[in-house]
Amino acid sequence: MWYVIEGYDGRDVLAQRQAARPAHLQRLEALRDAGRLLLAGPCPAIDAEDPGPAGFSGSLVVAEFESIESARAWADSDPYVAAGVYARVEVRPFRKVLP
């Protein structure tokens, strides 16, 4: 089943986000390579493709997991969690309809 994983950035965490980004991307690339990633990306804190020093308000991942427990376990082990980037993370089931 697909799951939405939403990470919400804390305040002033851009440096931590940048430092943890390579490890974060590596995990997403592994999901992609396994055919289990629908989409992933950050949410700019301002209305701009590149928010610069304003940073990001969080990230969105839609990926396939065996269960909500396995999706939560994957989310809890994200490098952004370990680095203190995310203030909170939400995991919900997702049903893809379109496209």
Amino acid at 12: D
Work out the number of other CB atoms within 10 angstroms of the CB of residue 85: 27
Contact status, residue 92 vs residue 3, Cβ threshold 8 Å? yes
Tokens representing 47 are 């209305």
Q: Report pLDDT digits (tens) over 14-71.
A: 999 999 999 999 999 999 999 999 999 999 999 999 999 999 999 999 999 999 999 9
Query: What pLDDT was estimated at residue 44?
Result: 98
- The predicted model scores a pTM of 0.95
Residue 50: the pLDDT is: 95
- 87 pLDDT band (50/70/90 cuts)? very high
DSSP letters spanning 60-89: EEEEE-SSHHHHHHHHHT-HHHHTT-EEEE
Can you give the pLDDT at residue 78? Answer: 98
Q: What is the pLDDT of residue 55?
A: 97
